[in-house]
A and B are shown apart, each in its own frame.
Chain A
C-alpha cells in the first residue's frame, strides 16, 4: 500500500514585518506559516519588548487571546501563546514562546488591557505566574482551589477533594 502523502508542514514565513523583527532580534525569533496562518516563535527573553514593539510600531492594537499549552514531556513545558490582530492591516498573528514550569512570564497588561482576565484564566488553568499583573488570582475556579486543571497531569475526573469537603459538605470529597 502506498504511504499516505505527508500532510502540510510549517513553512518559513517571509514578510517585511519578519525582516524587521529579525534585524532587531536576530536568532531569537523564527517565523513560520502553517495552513495560511502566520506565527512567530520567540525566545522567552525577548518578552515583553517584542509585544510592545508589535503594538507600538506594527499596529497590532488588539490582543485577541492569551493562552497556554502544556507539553509535559518537553524540557520547557509550557507554550504561552499570544494571538494578536491589527485593525489597520487586517492581519492576525500568533506569537509563541516556551517557558519552563515555574518560570515567570512577563505580563502584557501594560500593553493591552484585555490581557488582564485572559492572563488570570491562564494562571487559573495552568499555574503560569505573570509578572506585573495587577491582580493575579483565580477567575473561574473558586479561590481556595488547589491544582491547575488544564495541565496534563491533572486527571479529568479529579477535583480538589479538600475544597469540596469543606465547602460543599460532602464528606468523601466525591
Chain B
C-alpha cells in the first residue's frame, strides 16, 4: 500500500494493466521555466491521465552558496546577503540574522529599535502576503487581485524607500539596532497607510472569499492534516491552517512582540481555502500590531553600543523568527574571529516544499499549481 509519508513513489497498478504495453502513467516535466512555479522550480509529475500519482521536486537552480559566502565575510558584511534569500520579505530575513548575532554577542537592541523593527517587519509581512495573494490568484486564473495587491503594495515599498533607500532588498537593520533614525513623517506615513489598506483588504476578500469559482478551486485542494504538518516540519500559515495554533511571535517572543496584543488565526481543514483565509486574517492582525506599535514608539537611542570589530566569543546559537512563510532560523557557529565559522539558514520554504508531494497525491494537475501557490515558496530561500 502506498505510504503517504514515504518519499519513494509506489504505483498501484491493476493486475490486468501490468501486461499491457501502453503506459498507464505519464511523466510530465513542469520545467524550471514556468510562469506559475514562482521561480525556478522543476517538478516532475507522475500522472495517470490528469490525476497526480506522485511528484518530485528538483531544486537548486537558484543556489548561490550563501552559507559558504558567510564563512568568508565578517558579520556586518554578511548582513546584506541575507536579504537576497527570501527577497520578497527581506526585512524579516534581516531581523532574524541581526537578532541571532546580537544574541551571540550578548547585546540587546534598544526599545526604540525594537519597535521600529516590529513596524517594518509587520509592514513587510503585509507586503509579502499581498504579493502571495496576487500571484496565487493569478495562477488559479483570477487576474484582478494581482493588480490590486501590487498597487496597494506600492505604499509599503514607498515607506521602505523613504526609510532605508531600497524597496526590495532593504538591508534595513544593523546588528545592534537600526542604523537609520525614522525619517520625519514616518509615523504619519504609517498611520496613513493603515487607514488606506484596511478597506483594500476587504476589497480582496470581496473579490475572492465567496466567489464560487475560487471556492471550488481551493476547497479540499491540497489538504494536509496537522499530524502530517508536524511530522514534515511545515510551519507558518500552512501549519496554522491545519489547526495548530502556534506562532513564534507568541510562543517564543522576540523583538517587541511581547508588548502587543494580537491573535493567531487558525483554520480547520488544512486545505487551500483555509490557508487563504488564514493569510488574510494575518494581514489584519499585522495591521493591529502596527497600529499599537506606531502609537507608542519610545524615545531613546536607535542603536546599541556595538564594538566596531565584532568578535563574538566561541559558541553557537540558534535563533528563529516567524517569517511570513514560516519558521526562519539561523544557526551561527562562532570561533572567536571576526568571521562566522558556520552560518546555517533554516529556510521555511525549503522545508514546506517537502510537503508538496504529500499534498498533491490524488489531485489533478491544475491543483498542483494551486498547491505550489498556497505553500508560498520563494526559490531564493529554498535554494539559498
Interface residues of A (CB under 8 A from B): 7-8, 10, 34-35, 37, 39, 61-65, 67, 69-70, 81, 83, 87, 90, 92, 94, 109, 112-114, 116-118, 121, 125, 134-135, 138-142, 149-150, 154, 156
Contacts and interface: CB of A to CB of B under 8 A. Distances in A.
A77 to B, nearest CB: 13
Nearest to B60: A140
Interface string B234-261: 0000000000101000011000000000
Contacts of B7: 109, 113, 116, 134-135
Contacts of B104: 35
Contacts of B333: 69
The bracket for how many chain B residues form the interface is: 35 or more
Please name the 8 residue pairs, one residue from A and one from B, whose CB atoms are nearest each other, closest first. Answer: A114-B233, A7-B313, A140-B60, A140-B63, A65-B346, A113-B231, A67-B344, A69-B342
A84 B7 CA distance: 21
B244 A87 contact: yes
Contacts of B312: 7
Contacts of A140: 59-60, 63, 383-384
B30 to A, nearest CB: 18
A138 to B, nearest CB: 8
A125 B230 CA distance: 25
A62 B233 contact: yes
B346 A117 contact: no
Nearest to B103: A35
A83 B67 contact: no
Chain B interface SS verdict (over half): mixed
B27 interface: no
Contacts of B294: none
Contacts of B320: 64
B76 to A, nearest CB: 18
Interface of B: 5-8, 59-60, 63, 65, 67-69, 71-72, 103-104, 106, 228, 230-233, 244, 246, 251-252, 312-318, 320, 327, 329, 331, 333, 341-342, 344, 346, 350-351, 353-354, 383-384
Contacts of A113: 5, 7, 228, 231-233, 354
Contacts of B354: 113-114, 116-117
Contact of A112 (B67, B106, B233, B344): B233
Given A116-B354, A140-B59, A92 B67 contact: no
A91 to B, nearest CB: 10
Contact of A117 (B8, B246, B351): B351
A109 B233 CA distance: 12
A125 B353 CA distance: 19
B139 to A, nearest CB: 23
B327 A156 contact: no
Among the interface residues B8, B251, B342, which one has the most CB atoms of the partner chain A within 10 A?
A: B342
Given A134-B6, A141-B63, A8 B318 contact: no
Contact of B231 (A7, A94, A112): A112
A70 B346 CA distance: 18
Contacts of B63: 140-141
Contacts of B342: 69-70, 150
